[in-house]
A and B are shown apart, each in its own frame.
Chain A
Amino acid sequence: MELKPETLAEIEEAIPKYPEKQSAVMPLLHAIQKDQGLLTNEAAEWVAGKLGMEAIQVLAVITFYPFFRQHRIGKRHIRVCRTLSCAMAGGAKVCDRVLSEFDTGLNEISPGGEVTVEFAECLASCGSAPVMLVDDDLHENLDEEKAKAICDQIKSEAVQA
Protein backbone atom coordinates (compact mmCIF):
# COMPACT_ATOMS: atom_id res chain seq x y z
CA MET A 1 0.00 0.00 0.00
CA GLU A 2 1.42 3.35 -1.12
CA LEU A 3 0.59 6.20 1.23
CA LYS A 4 1.35 9.86 0.61
CA PRO A 5 4.17 11.36 2.72
CA GLU A 6 1.71 13.67 4.51
CA THR A 7 -0.49 10.69 5.41
CA LEU A 8 2.51 8.85 6.85
CA ALA A 9 3.47 11.97 8.81
CA GLU A 10 -0.08 12.27 10.17
CA ILE A 11 0.06 8.61 11.22
CA GLU A 12 3.41 8.98 12.99
CA GLU A 13 2.09 12.03 14.81
CA ALA A 14 -1.15 10.34 15.91
CA ILE A 15 0.27 7.21 17.55
CA PRO A 16 2.27 8.78 20.42
CA LYS A 17 -0.71 10.94 21.45
CA TYR A 18 -2.28 7.92 23.13
CA PRO A 19 -1.18 6.04 26.24
CA GLU A 20 -1.86 2.77 24.37
CA LYS A 21 -1.15 2.27 20.68
CA GLN A 22 -4.44 0.57 19.81
CA SER A 23 -6.29 3.83 20.57
CA ALA A 24 -4.75 5.24 17.39
CA VAL A 25 -6.69 2.83 15.18
CA MET A 26 -9.44 5.33 14.35
CA PRO A 27 -7.12 8.25 13.56
CA LEU A 28 -5.06 5.93 11.36
CA LEU A 29 -8.14 4.67 9.53
CA HIS A 30 -9.35 8.26 9.00
CA ALA A 31 -5.98 9.20 7.54
CA ILE A 32 -5.79 6.17 5.26
CA GLN A 33 -9.39 6.52 4.08
CA LYS A 34 -8.68 10.13 3.14
CA ASP A 35 -5.53 9.06 1.30
CA GLN A 36 -6.90 5.97 -0.47
CA GLY A 37 -10.61 6.76 -0.73
CA LEU A 38 -11.56 3.56 1.04
CA LEU A 39 -10.28 0.99 3.55
CA THR A 40 -9.17 -2.28 1.98
CA ASN A 41 -8.20 -5.50 3.71
CA GLU A 42 -4.62 -4.54 2.89
CA ALA A 43 -5.12 -1.31 4.84
CA ALA A 44 -6.48 -3.30 7.79
CA GLU A 45 -3.39 -5.51 7.73
CA TRP A 46 -1.10 -2.48 7.46
CA VAL A 47 -2.75 -0.75 10.45
CA ALA A 48 -2.68 -3.99 12.43
CA GLY A 49 1.06 -4.31 11.82
CA LYS A 50 1.63 -0.70 12.78
CA LEU A 51 -0.30 -0.91 16.07
CA GLY A 52 0.48 -4.46 17.14
CA MET A 53 -3.10 -5.66 16.57
CA GLU A 54 -4.62 -8.56 14.67
CA ALA A 55 -6.01 -7.58 11.26
CA ILE A 56 -9.42 -8.92 12.29
CA GLN A 57 -9.51 -6.43 15.18
CA VAL A 58 -8.95 -3.59 12.73
CA LEU A 59 -11.59 -5.00 10.39
CA ALA A 60 -14.00 -5.18 13.33
CA VAL A 61 -13.53 -1.45 13.82
CA ILE A 62 -13.86 -0.63 10.10
CA THR A 63 -17.16 -2.52 9.82
CA PHE A 64 -18.66 -1.03 13.00
CA TYR A 65 -18.53 2.68 12.20
CA PRO A 66 -20.78 4.08 9.46
CA PHE A 67 -18.22 6.64 8.26
CA PHE A 68 -15.56 4.02 7.52
CA ARG A 69 -16.08 2.40 4.14
CA GLN A 70 -14.76 -0.56 2.18
CA HIS A 71 -16.05 0.64 -1.19
CA ARG A 72 -15.24 3.49 -3.56
CA ILE A 73 -17.40 6.58 -3.74
CA GLY A 74 -17.71 9.49 -6.17
CA LYS A 75 -15.35 12.47 -6.12
CA ARG A 76 -17.65 14.42 -3.82
CA HIS A 77 -19.48 12.89 -0.88
CA ILE A 78 -22.99 14.19 -0.23
CA ARG A 79 -24.71 13.13 2.97
CA VAL A 80 -28.28 14.29 3.49
CA CYS A 81 -29.68 14.08 7.01
CA ARG A 82 -32.75 11.83 7.22
CA THR A 83 -33.58 11.96 10.94
CA LEU A 84 -36.84 13.39 12.26
CA SER A 85 -36.24 17.16 12.40
CA CYS A 86 -34.75 17.23 8.91
CA ALA A 87 -37.45 14.88 7.62
CA MET A 88 -40.17 17.17 9.03
CA ALA A 89 -38.50 20.08 7.20
CA GLY A 90 -38.38 18.33 3.82
CA GLY A 91 -35.07 16.46 3.83
CA ALA A 92 -36.46 13.72 1.59
CA LYS A 93 -37.32 16.19 -1.17
CA VAL A 94 -33.85 17.71 -0.93
CA CYS A 95 -32.31 14.26 -1.27
CA ASP A 96 -34.52 13.36 -4.25
CA ARG A 97 -33.56 16.59 -5.96
CA VAL A 98 -29.85 15.95 -5.48
CA LEU A 99 -30.25 12.40 -6.80
CA SER A 100 -32.08 13.58 -9.90
CA GLU A 101 -29.57 16.39 -10.54
CA PHE A 102 -26.84 13.77 -10.80
CA ASP A 103 -29.08 11.13 -12.37
CA THR A 104 -28.10 8.65 -9.69
CA GLY A 105 -29.51 6.52 -6.88
CA LEU A 106 -28.72 6.42 -3.17
CA ASN A 107 -25.35 4.94 -2.23
CA GLU A 108 -24.18 4.74 -5.84
CA ILE A 109 -21.43 6.50 -7.76
CA SER A 110 -23.14 8.91 -10.16
CA PRO A 111 -22.71 8.03 -13.87
CA GLY A 112 -20.13 10.81 -14.34
CA GLY A 113 -18.33 9.83 -11.15
CA GLU A 114 -18.90 13.28 -9.61
CA VAL A 115 -20.74 12.28 -6.45
CA THR A 116 -22.06 9.61 -4.13
CA VAL A 117 -25.25 10.61 -2.33
CA GLU A 118 -26.17 8.95 0.95
CA PHE A 119 -28.57 9.49 3.78
CA ALA A 120 -26.88 10.19 7.11
CA GLU A 121 -28.36 10.01 10.58
CA CYS A 122 -28.76 13.22 12.60
CA LEU A 123 -26.02 15.72 11.70
CA ALA A 124 -26.69 17.78 14.87
CA SER A 125 -27.99 20.90 13.20
CA CYS A 126 -31.74 20.34 13.63
CA GLY A 127 -32.49 24.05 14.17
CA SER A 128 -31.47 24.82 10.59
CA ALA A 129 -33.09 21.73 9.05
CA PRO A 130 -32.93 20.29 6.52
CA VAL A 131 -29.16 19.99 6.26
CA MET A 132 -26.59 18.06 4.30
CA LEU A 133 -22.84 17.63 4.30
CA VAL A 134 -20.90 18.03 1.06
CA ASP A 135 -17.55 16.55 2.03
CA ASP A 136 -16.71 18.60 5.15
CA ASP A 137 -19.07 21.52 4.44
CA LEU A 138 -22.46 21.72 6.13
CA HIS A 139 -25.29 23.27 4.12
CA GLU A 140 -28.30 24.42 6.13
CA ASN A 141 -31.92 25.52 5.71
CA LEU A 142 -32.11 23.71 2.39
CA ASP A 143 -34.94 23.47 -0.06
CA GLU A 144 -35.03 22.06 -3.57
CA GLU A 145 -33.83 25.32 -5.11
CA LYS A 146 -30.85 25.64 -2.79
CA ALA A 147 -30.04 21.97 -3.31
CA LYS A 148 -30.03 22.50 -7.06
CA ALA A 149 -27.71 25.52 -6.73
CA ILE A 150 -25.27 23.41 -4.69
CA CYS A 151 -25.43 20.63 -7.30
CA ASP A 152 -24.73 23.18 -10.06
CA GLN A 153 -21.74 24.41 -8.09
CA ILE A 154 -20.41 20.87 -7.72
CA LYS A 155 -20.88 20.23 -11.44
CA SER A 156 -19.04 23.42 -12.40
CA GLU A 157 -16.19 22.58 -10.04
CA ALA A 158 -15.99 19.11 -11.58
CA VAL A 159 -15.62 20.65 -15.05
CA GLN A 160 -12.90 23.03 -13.86
CA ALA A 161 -11.02 20.16 -12.22
Chain B
Amino acid sequence: MAIHPREKRIILKYADEPGYTPDIDCYMRHGGYVMLKKAVGMDKQMICDEVKNSQLRGRGGAGFPAGVKWSFVDRKSGKPVYMVCNCDESEPGTFKDRQIVHKDPHQLIEGIMISCFATDCAKAFIYIREEMPKGAKILEQAIKEAKEKNFVGDDILGSGYSCDIVVHRGAAAYICGEETGLIESLEGKRANPRIKPPYFPAALGLYMCPTIVNNVETLCNVKHILEMGAEEYAKIGRPNNTGTRIWCVSGGVKRPGYYEVAGITLGELVYDICGGPKEGRTIKAIIPGGSSMKILKNGERFKGKDRDGNEYDWGIEDIPLDYDGIAAAGSMSGSGGMMVLDDSVEIPVALANLMAFYSHESCGQCTPCREGSLWLKKITTRMVHGEARPEDVDLLRSVADQIEGRTICAFGFAVAWPVQSYLDKFEDEFREFAQRHNHLGGDRTAAKELACNH
Protein backbone atom coordinates (compact mmCIF):
# COMPACT_ATOMS: atom_id res chain seq x y z
CA MET B 1 0.00 0.00 0.00
CA ALA B 2 1.23 3.50 -0.82
CA ILE B 3 2.70 5.42 2.11
CA HIS B 4 0.93 8.70 2.83
CA PRO B 5 3.27 11.70 3.36
CA ARG B 6 1.57 12.45 6.69
CA GLU B 7 2.57 9.07 8.07
CA LYS B 8 5.46 8.55 10.45
CA ARG B 9 6.49 5.01 9.74
CA ILE B 10 8.69 3.20 12.24
CA ILE B 11 7.15 -0.25 12.56
CA LEU B 12 6.01 -0.36 8.93
CA LYS B 13 9.06 1.52 7.67
CA TYR B 14 10.05 -1.13 5.14
CA ALA B 15 6.88 -3.24 4.88
CA ASP B 16 5.65 -1.61 1.69
CA GLU B 17 9.00 -0.72 0.18
CA PRO B 18 9.28 -2.14 -3.34
CA GLY B 19 11.48 -5.22 -3.30
CA TYR B 20 11.30 -5.71 0.48
CA THR B 21 10.80 -9.40 1.18
CA PRO B 22 10.06 -11.34 4.38
CA ASP B 23 13.31 -13.35 4.37
CA ILE B 24 16.14 -12.88 6.85
CA ASP B 25 18.72 -11.64 4.34
CA CYS B 26 16.50 -8.75 3.33
CA TYR B 27 15.81 -7.94 6.98
CA MET B 28 19.50 -7.97 7.84
CA ARG B 29 20.36 -5.77 4.88
CA HIS B 30 17.99 -3.23 6.45
CA GLY B 31 19.74 -3.31 9.83
CA GLY B 32 17.88 -6.31 11.20
CA TYR B 33 19.01 -8.11 14.38
CA VAL B 34 21.56 -5.40 15.21
CA MET B 35 19.49 -4.52 18.28
CA LEU B 36 19.27 -8.14 19.41
CA LYS B 37 23.06 -8.37 19.17
CA LYS B 38 23.31 -5.24 21.31
CA ALA B 39 20.63 -6.43 23.75
CA VAL B 40 22.30 -9.72 24.66
CA GLY B 41 25.32 -7.75 25.86
CA MET B 42 23.19 -5.45 28.00
CA ASP B 43 21.98 -5.67 31.56
CA LYS B 44 18.47 -7.16 31.49
CA GLN B 45 17.07 -4.71 33.99
CA MET B 46 18.38 -1.84 31.89
CA ILE B 47 16.34 -3.01 28.90
CA CYS B 48 13.24 -3.33 31.12
CA ASP B 49 13.85 0.19 32.45
CA GLU B 50 14.15 1.54 28.93
CA VAL B 51 10.81 0.02 27.96
CA LYS B 52 9.23 1.40 31.15
CA ASN B 53 10.69 4.86 30.60
CA SER B 54 9.58 4.92 26.98
CA GLN B 55 5.98 4.86 28.31
CA LEU B 56 5.14 2.28 25.64
CA ARG B 57 1.50 1.23 26.03
CA GLY B 58 0.00 -2.04 24.78
CA ARG B 59 -1.27 -1.89 21.22
CA GLY B 60 -3.75 -4.77 21.53
CA GLY B 61 -6.70 -3.10 23.18
CA ALA B 62 -6.47 -2.12 26.82
CA GLY B 63 -3.41 0.14 26.41
CA PHE B 64 -1.68 -0.98 29.60
CA PRO B 65 1.94 0.25 29.96
CA ALA B 66 4.11 -2.60 28.66
CA GLY B 67 7.08 -1.95 30.95
CA VAL B 68 4.83 -1.97 34.01
CA LYS B 69 3.28 -5.24 32.83
CA TRP B 70 6.77 -6.76 32.59
CA SER B 71 7.62 -5.57 36.10
CA PHE B 72 4.62 -7.47 37.54
CA VAL B 73 6.12 -10.83 36.61
CA ASP B 74 6.53 -13.01 39.68
CA ARG B 75 10.29 -13.64 39.89
CA LYS B 76 10.22 -15.45 43.23
CA SER B 77 8.08 -18.41 42.22
CA GLY B 78 11.04 -20.42 40.93
CA LYS B 79 8.88 -21.41 37.94
CA PRO B 80 9.80 -20.67 34.32
CA VAL B 81 8.49 -17.41 32.84
CA TYR B 82 6.73 -17.61 29.47
CA MET B 83 6.25 -15.01 26.76
CA VAL B 84 3.11 -15.11 24.64
CA CYS B 85 2.80 -12.93 21.58
CA ASN B 86 -0.87 -12.27 20.95
CA CYS B 87 -1.28 -12.45 17.20
CA ASP B 88 -4.95 -13.39 17.38
CA GLU B 89 -5.85 -10.10 15.69
CA SER B 90 -9.60 -10.61 15.69
CA GLU B 91 -11.25 -7.38 16.78
CA PRO B 92 -13.40 -6.43 13.78
CA GLY B 93 -11.85 -3.43 12.04
CA THR B 94 -8.25 -4.38 12.87
CA PHE B 95 -5.70 -5.56 10.30
CA LYS B 96 -2.35 -4.13 11.39
CA ASP B 97 -0.65 -7.22 12.81
CA ARG B 98 -1.41 -8.92 9.49
CA GLN B 99 0.89 -6.40 7.75
CA ILE B 100 3.78 -7.00 10.16
CA VAL B 101 3.52 -10.79 10.10
CA HIS B 102 3.18 -11.10 6.34
CA LYS B 103 5.66 -8.44 5.26
CA ASP B 104 8.23 -8.07 8.03
CA PRO B 105 8.10 -11.17 10.26
CA HIS B 106 11.70 -10.87 11.43
CA GLN B 107 10.99 -7.53 13.04
CA LEU B 108 8.48 -9.32 15.27
CA ILE B 109 10.91 -12.13 16.00
CA GLU B 110 13.66 -9.68 16.94
CA GLY B 111 11.19 -7.80 19.17
CA ILE B 112 10.14 -11.04 20.84
CA MET B 113 13.73 -12.21 21.42
CA ILE B 114 14.83 -8.87 22.92
CA SER B 115 11.76 -8.90 25.17
CA CYS B 116 12.33 -12.53 26.17
CA PHE B 117 15.98 -11.87 26.97
CA ALA B 118 15.12 -8.80 29.05
CA THR B 119 12.45 -10.60 31.04
CA ASP B 120 14.31 -13.93 31.17
CA CYS B 121 11.60 -15.97 29.50
CA ALA B 122 12.12 -19.69 29.08
CA LYS B 123 10.04 -20.01 25.95
CA ALA B 124 7.94 -17.84 23.65
CA PHE B 125 4.71 -18.66 21.86
CA ILE B 126 3.12 -16.77 18.98
CA TYR B 127 -0.61 -17.42 19.04
CA ILE B 128 -1.77 -16.69 15.49
CA ARG B 129 -5.35 -16.86 14.33
CA GLU B 130 -6.19 -19.51 11.75
CA GLU B 131 -7.80 -16.92 9.50
CA MET B 132 -4.20 -16.03 8.54
CA PRO B 133 -2.95 -19.47 7.44
CA LYS B 134 -0.17 -17.99 5.33
CA GLY B 135 1.02 -15.83 8.23
CA ALA B 136 1.66 -18.95 10.32
CA LYS B 137 3.77 -20.45 7.53
CA ILE B 138 5.73 -17.21 7.07
CA LEU B 139 6.46 -17.09 10.81
CA GLU B 140 7.56 -20.76 10.86
CA GLN B 141 9.96 -20.08 8.00
CA ALA B 142 11.28 -16.89 9.63
CA ILE B 143 11.93 -18.70 12.93
CA LYS B 144 13.77 -21.44 11.05
CA GLU B 145 15.99 -18.82 9.38
CA ALA B 146 16.58 -17.02 12.68
CA LYS B 147 17.59 -20.32 14.32
CA GLU B 148 20.15 -20.96 11.60
CA LYS B 149 21.74 -17.61 12.43
CA ASN B 150 21.56 -18.32 16.18
CA PHE B 151 19.12 -15.48 16.90
CA VAL B 152 16.61 -17.98 18.30
CA GLY B 153 17.30 -21.28 20.11
CA ASP B 154 20.20 -22.38 22.27
CA ASP B 155 22.91 -20.07 23.59
CA ILE B 156 21.78 -17.11 21.51
CA LEU B 157 24.81 -15.31 20.03
CA GLY B 158 27.02 -16.89 22.68
CA SER B 159 25.20 -15.12 25.49
CA GLY B 160 24.37 -18.29 27.39
CA TYR B 161 20.71 -17.39 27.08
CA SER B 162 18.44 -19.88 25.30
CA CYS B 163 14.89 -19.41 24.12
CA ASP B 164 12.76 -21.03 21.45
CA ILE B 165 9.66 -19.63 19.73
CA VAL B 166 6.66 -21.86 19.00
CA VAL B 167 4.00 -20.81 16.50
CA HIS B 168 0.59 -21.91 17.72
CA ARG B 169 -2.34 -21.76 15.32
CA GLY B 170 -5.76 -20.92 16.70
CA ALA B 171 -9.03 -22.08 15.14
CA ALA B 172 -11.14 -18.94 14.64
CA ALA B 173 -12.40 -18.22 18.14
CA TYR B 174 -12.43 -14.45 18.86
CA ILE B 175 -12.19 -15.00 22.60
CA CYS B 176 -8.60 -16.28 22.15
CA GLY B 177 -7.60 -12.62 21.82
CA GLU B 178 -8.49 -12.26 25.52
CA GLU B 179 -5.23 -13.09 27.28
CA THR B 180 -6.49 -15.65 29.77
CA GLY B 181 -8.69 -17.31 27.13
CA LEU B 182 -5.62 -17.44 24.91
CA ILE B 183 -3.66 -19.14 27.69
CA GLU B 184 -6.38 -21.76 28.21
CA SER B 185 -6.36 -22.38 24.46
CA LEU B 186 -2.59 -22.72 24.44
CA GLU B 187 -2.93 -25.30 27.21
CA GLY B 188 -5.10 -27.38 24.89
CA LYS B 189 -8.55 -26.51 26.20
CA ARG B 190 -11.63 -24.52 25.30
CA ALA B 191 -10.70 -20.83 25.47
CA ASN B 192 -12.82 -19.99 28.50
CA PRO B 193 -11.23 -16.93 30.14
CA ARG B 194 -10.00 -17.17 33.73
CA ILE B 195 -11.11 -14.93 36.53
CA LYS B 196 -8.76 -12.15 37.71
CA PRO B 197 -7.80 -12.26 40.54
CA PRO B 198 -6.21 -14.69 41.09
CA TYR B 199 -5.30 -15.63 37.51
CA PHE B 200 -3.30 -12.60 36.44
CA PRO B 201 -0.94 -13.99 33.79
CA ALA B 202 2.05 -12.27 35.43
CA ALA B 203 1.58 -14.58 38.42
CA LEU B 204 -0.57 -17.54 37.32
CA GLY B 205 -0.45 -17.73 33.53
CA LEU B 206 0.49 -20.52 31.15
CA TYR B 207 0.77 -23.83 33.06
CA MET B 208 0.21 -21.70 36.19
CA CYS B 209 3.61 -20.08 35.57
CA PRO B 210 4.30 -16.33 35.32
CA THR B 211 3.48 -15.25 31.77
CA ILE B 212 3.77 -12.05 29.75
CA VAL B 213 1.18 -11.57 27.04
CA ASN B 214 1.97 -8.77 24.56
CA ASN B 215 0.51 -7.75 21.22
CA VAL B 216 2.50 -8.03 17.97
CA GLU B 217 2.85 -4.28 17.44
CA THR B 218 3.84 -3.76 21.09
CA LEU B 219 6.69 -6.27 20.83
CA CYS B 220 7.95 -4.74 17.58
CA ASN B 221 8.19 -1.38 19.34
CA VAL B 222 10.68 -2.78 21.86
CA LYS B 223 13.36 -3.01 19.20
CA HIS B 224 12.88 0.62 18.23
CA ILE B 225 12.90 1.81 21.84
CA LEU B 226 16.30 0.18 22.25
CA GLU B 227 17.51 1.71 19.01
CA MET B 228 16.32 5.24 19.74
CA GLY B 229 16.63 5.21 23.50
CA ALA B 230 13.62 5.67 25.75
CA GLU B 231 13.99 9.41 25.90
CA GLU B 232 13.95 9.94 22.12
CA TYR B 233 11.15 7.41 21.67
CA ALA B 234 9.03 9.21 24.26
CA LYS B 235 9.26 12.40 22.23
CA ILE B 236 7.09 10.80 19.53
CA GLY B 237 3.43 11.57 20.18
CA ARG B 238 2.21 13.04 23.47
CA PRO B 239 3.34 12.12 27.00
CA ASN B 240 1.54 8.93 28.12
CA ASN B 241 0.73 8.30 24.44
CA THR B 242 4.23 7.77 23.11
CA GLY B 243 5.35 6.21 19.88
CA THR B 244 3.51 5.76 16.63
CA ARG B 245 0.31 3.78 16.22
CA ILE B 246 -0.86 1.84 13.22
CA TRP B 247 -4.47 2.83 12.58
CA CYS B 248 -6.65 0.61 10.45
CA VAL B 249 -9.42 2.49 8.70
CA SER B 250 -12.31 0.77 6.97
CA GLY B 251 -15.84 1.59 5.85
CA GLY B 252 -17.02 4.86 4.37
CA VAL B 253 -13.83 6.68 3.39
CA LYS B 254 -12.16 7.22 0.02
CA ARG B 255 -8.86 5.60 1.00
CA PRO B 256 -9.31 2.84 3.57
CA GLY B 257 -6.15 1.14 4.79
CA TYR B 258 -3.50 1.08 7.51
CA TYR B 259 -1.61 4.21 8.44
CA GLU B 260 1.19 4.59 10.97
CA VAL B 261 0.98 8.03 12.53
CA ALA B 262 1.75 10.04 15.66
CA GLY B 263 0.53 13.29 17.11
CA ILE B 264 -2.38 13.95 14.75
CA THR B 265 -6.14 14.34 15.22
CA LEU B 266 -8.93 11.99 14.24
CA GLY B 267 -9.98 14.48 11.58
CA GLU B 268 -6.50 14.54 10.04
CA LEU B 269 -6.59 10.75 9.72
CA VAL B 270 -10.11 10.44 8.37
CA TYR B 271 -10.33 13.55 6.18
CA ASP B 272 -6.75 14.30 5.13
CA ILE B 273 -5.10 10.89 5.00
CA CYS B 274 -8.13 8.74 4.16
CA GLY B 275 -9.68 11.36 1.89
CA GLY B 276 -12.88 11.86 3.85
CA PRO B 277 -16.26 10.31 2.99
CA LYS B 278 -16.95 8.69 -0.35
CA GLU B 279 -18.36 10.86 -3.14
CA GLY B 280 -21.80 12.18 -2.26
CA ARG B 281 -21.72 10.81 1.28
CA THR B 282 -21.23 12.32 4.71
CA ILE B 283 -19.77 10.72 7.80
CA LYS B 284 -22.43 9.75 10.30
CA ALA B 285 -20.39 8.10 13.03
CA ILE B 286 -17.02 6.55 13.79
CA ILE B 287 -16.23 3.45 15.81
CA PRO B 288 -12.72 4.42 16.88
CA GLY B 289 -10.84 1.34 18.07
CA GLY B 290 -12.41 -1.91 16.93
CA SER B 291 -16.07 -2.91 16.93
CA SER B 292 -16.30 -3.22 20.73
CA MET B 293 -15.60 0.43 21.32
CA LYS B 294 -18.23 3.05 21.99
CA ILE B 295 -19.36 4.93 18.91
CA LEU B 296 -18.59 8.60 18.27
CA LYS B 297 -21.34 10.58 16.55
CA ASN B 298 -20.42 13.16 13.97
CA GLY B 299 -21.80 16.58 14.91
CA GLU B 300 -21.60 15.86 18.62
CA ARG B 301 -19.43 18.08 20.88
CA PHE B 302 -16.96 16.35 23.15
CA LYS B 303 -16.42 18.44 26.27
CA GLY B 304 -14.61 18.04 29.53
CA LYS B 305 -11.50 18.89 31.53
CA ASP B 306 -8.13 17.27 30.92
CA ARG B 307 -5.70 16.10 33.59
CA ASP B 308 -4.25 19.58 33.99
CA GLY B 309 -7.68 21.10 34.47
CA ASN B 310 -7.87 22.66 31.01
CA GLU B 311 -11.30 22.61 29.43
CA TYR B 312 -11.76 21.15 25.97
CA ASP B 313 -14.64 21.34 23.53
CA TRP B 314 -14.02 19.21 20.44
CA GLY B 315 -15.88 18.26 17.33
CA ILE B 316 -15.25 14.68 16.19
CA GLU B 317 -12.44 15.85 13.88
CA ASP B 318 -10.59 17.62 16.74
CA ILE B 319 -10.18 14.54 18.92
CA PRO B 320 -6.47 13.82 19.46
CA LEU B 321 -5.80 10.47 17.86
CA ASP B 322 -4.32 8.62 20.81
CA TYR B 323 -5.25 6.71 23.97
CA ASP B 324 -6.01 9.74 26.13
CA GLY B 325 -7.63 11.77 23.38
CA ILE B 326 -10.17 9.14 22.46
CA ALA B 327 -10.74 8.28 26.14
CA ALA B 328 -11.50 11.97 26.76
CA ALA B 329 -14.15 11.72 24.04
CA GLY B 330 -15.79 8.87 25.94
CA SER B 331 -14.50 5.89 24.00
CA MET B 332 -11.23 3.95 23.63
CA SER B 333 -8.54 3.62 20.99
CA GLY B 334 -8.65 -0.15 21.54
CA SER B 335 -6.82 -2.08 18.86
CA GLY B 336 -6.67 0.87 16.43
CA GLY B 337 -9.39 -0.57 14.19
CA MET B 338 -11.43 2.40 13.05
CA MET B 339 -14.73 1.84 11.27
CA VAL B 340 -16.28 4.81 9.52
CA LEU B 341 -20.05 4.71 9.10
CA ASP B 342 -21.43 7.04 6.45
CA ASP B 343 -25.00 8.30 6.03
CA SER B 344 -25.97 5.21 4.02
CA VAL B 345 -25.62 3.07 7.14
CA GLU B 346 -28.62 2.58 9.40
CA ILE B 347 -27.22 2.32 12.92
CA PRO B 348 -29.70 -0.35 14.14
CA VAL B 349 -28.70 -2.53 11.18
CA ALA B 350 -25.00 -2.06 11.89
CA LEU B 351 -25.78 -3.17 15.44
CA ALA B 352 -27.59 -6.24 14.12
CA ASN B 353 -24.46 -7.16 12.16
CA LEU B 354 -22.25 -6.81 15.24
CA MET B 355 -24.61 -8.64 17.57
CA ALA B 356 -24.52 -11.62 15.21
CA PHE B 357 -20.74 -11.45 15.61
CA TYR B 358 -20.71 -11.19 19.40
CA SER B 359 -23.33 -13.86 19.99
CA HIS B 360 -21.30 -16.19 17.77
CA GLU B 361 -18.10 -15.40 19.67
CA SER B 362 -19.29 -15.54 23.29
CA CYS B 363 -17.45 -18.47 24.89
CA GLY B 364 -20.61 -19.40 26.76
CA GLN B 365 -19.05 -19.57 30.19
CA CYS B 366 -21.00 -16.75 31.88
CA THR B 367 -24.79 -16.81 31.66
CA PRO B 368 -25.36 -13.04 31.20
CA CYS B 369 -23.04 -13.01 28.18
CA ARG B 370 -24.06 -16.34 26.64
CA GLU B 371 -27.79 -15.73 26.91
CA GLY B 372 -27.69 -11.95 26.68
CA SER B 373 -25.67 -11.79 23.48
CA LEU B 374 -28.08 -14.23 21.83
CA TRP B 375 -31.04 -12.09 22.90
CA LEU B 376 -29.33 -8.99 21.51
CA LYS B 377 -28.86 -10.80 18.21
CA LYS B 378 -32.45 -12.05 18.22
CA ILE B 379 -33.94 -8.61 18.92
CA THR B 380 -31.79 -6.72 16.39
CA THR B 381 -32.37 -9.41 13.77
CA ARG B 382 -36.13 -9.33 14.14
CA MET B 383 -36.03 -5.56 13.82
CA VAL B 384 -34.20 -5.90 10.50
CA HIS B 385 -36.71 -8.51 9.35
CA GLY B 386 -39.74 -6.33 9.99
CA GLU B 387 -40.82 -7.94 13.24
CA ALA B 388 -39.81 -5.14 15.62
CA ARG B 389 -41.92 -4.93 18.78
CA PRO B 390 -42.74 -1.72 20.66
CA GLU B 391 -40.63 -2.77 23.64
CA ASP B 392 -37.54 -3.75 21.62
CA VAL B 393 -35.47 -0.58 21.97
CA ASP B 394 -35.83 -0.56 25.75
CA LEU B 395 -35.29 -4.30 25.86
CA LEU B 396 -31.97 -3.94 24.05
CA ARG B 397 -30.72 -1.53 26.67
CA SER B 398 -32.01 -3.63 29.53
CA VAL B 399 -30.23 -6.75 28.27
CA ALA B 400 -26.96 -4.87 27.58
CA ASP B 401 -27.02 -3.26 31.04
CA GLN B 402 -27.41 -6.68 32.61
CA ILE B 403 -24.38 -8.09 30.78
CA GLU B 404 -21.94 -5.26 31.46
CA GLY B 405 -19.78 -5.92 34.50
CA ARG B 406 -21.39 -9.29 35.22
CA THR B 407 -18.95 -11.54 33.41
CA ILE B 408 -15.56 -13.11 34.06
CA CYS B 409 -13.82 -11.30 31.21
CA ALA B 410 -14.07 -8.03 29.29
CA PHE B 411 -16.13 -9.62 26.52
CA GLY B 412 -19.18 -8.57 28.53
CA PHE B 413 -18.18 -4.96 27.98
CA ALA B 414 -17.38 -5.62 24.33
CA VAL B 415 -20.92 -6.81 23.66
CA ALA B 416 -22.65 -4.21 25.85
CA TRP B 417 -20.78 -1.07 24.80
CA PRO B 418 -21.96 -1.01 21.17
CA VAL B 419 -25.58 -1.46 22.25
CA GLN B 420 -25.42 1.13 25.01
CA SER B 421 -23.48 3.73 23.03
CA TYR B 422 -25.52 3.34 19.82
CA LEU B 423 -28.67 3.82 21.88
CA ASP B 424 -27.18 6.79 23.74
CA LYS B 425 -26.25 8.55 20.52
CA PHE B 426 -28.93 7.33 18.13
CA GLU B 427 -31.98 6.53 20.26
CA ASP B 428 -34.35 8.47 18.00
CA GLU B 429 -33.13 6.52 15.00
CA PHE B 430 -33.69 3.24 16.84
CA ARG B 431 -37.25 4.22 17.80
CA GLU B 432 -38.01 5.40 14.29
CA PHE B 433 -36.46 2.24 12.85
CA ALA B 434 -38.49 0.01 15.17
CA GLN B 435 -41.67 1.86 14.20
CA ARG B 436 -40.91 1.55 10.49
CA HIS B 437 -40.03 -2.13 10.74
CA ASN B 438 -42.91 -3.43 12.84
CA HIS B 439 -44.66 -5.12 9.97
CA LEU B 440 -43.72 -7.62 7.27
CA GLY B 441 -43.51 -6.71 3.62
CA GLY B 442 -41.60 -3.93 1.91
CA ASP B 443 -38.12 -4.12 0.46
CA ARG B 444 -35.61 -5.04 3.13
CA THR B 445 -32.82 -6.16 0.84
CA ALA B 446 -30.34 -3.44 1.78
CA ALA B 447 -30.89 -3.87 5.51
CA LYS B 448 -30.61 -7.64 5.30
CA GLU B 449 -27.38 -7.33 3.31
CA LEU B 450 -25.81 -5.03 5.88
CA ALA B 451 -26.95 -7.17 8.80
CA CYS B 452 -25.47 -10.03 6.74
CA ASN B 453 -26.98 -12.50 9.12
CA HIS B 454 -28.61 -15.06 6.86
- Residues of A at the B interface (CB closer than 8 Å) are 17-20, 22-27, 29-30, 51, 53, 57, 60-61, 64-68, 82-93, 95, 106, 119-129, 133, 136, 138
Contacts and interface: CB of A to CB of B under 8 A. Distances in A.
Contacts of A68: 171
Contact of B173 (A64, A83, A92): A64
B174 interface: yes
B274 to A, nearest CB: 10
28 contacts: A17-B166, A20-B188, A22-B188, A23-B186, A26-B168, A30-B130, A53-B188, A60-B190, A61-B188, A64-B191, A66-B171, A82-B356, A83-B357, A84-B93, A84-B350, A85-B93, A85-B251, A106-B454, A121-B357, A122-B91, A126-B92, A126-B93, A126-B250, A126-B256, A126-B339, A127-B1, A128-B257, A136-B134
Interface string B435-454: 00000000000001111111
Nearest to A65: B171
A66 B173 contact: yes
Given A19-B123, A121-B357, A92 B169 contact: no
Contacts of B98: 124-125
A90 B189 CA distance: 36
Contact of B187 (A22, A29, A64, A82): A22
Given A23-B187, A61-B188, A87-B452, A124 B350 contact: no
Given A24-B188, A124-B89, A133-B131, A82 B248 contact: no
B166 A126 contact: no
B153 interface: no
B258 A127 contact: yes
Contact of B133 (A60, A106, A121, A136): A136
Nearest to B97: A124
Contacts of B164: 17
B361 interface: yes
Contacts of B133: 136
B354 A84 contact: yes
A119 B452 contact: yes
A57 B187 CA distance: 12
A51 B92 CA distance: 34
B408 interface: no
A25 B90 contact: no
Contacts of B86: none
Interface in B408-454: 448-454
A66 B187 contact: no
B95 A92 contact: no
A14 B429 CA distance: 53
B170 interface: yes
Given A88-B450, A92-B452, A126-B337, A65 B172 contact: yes
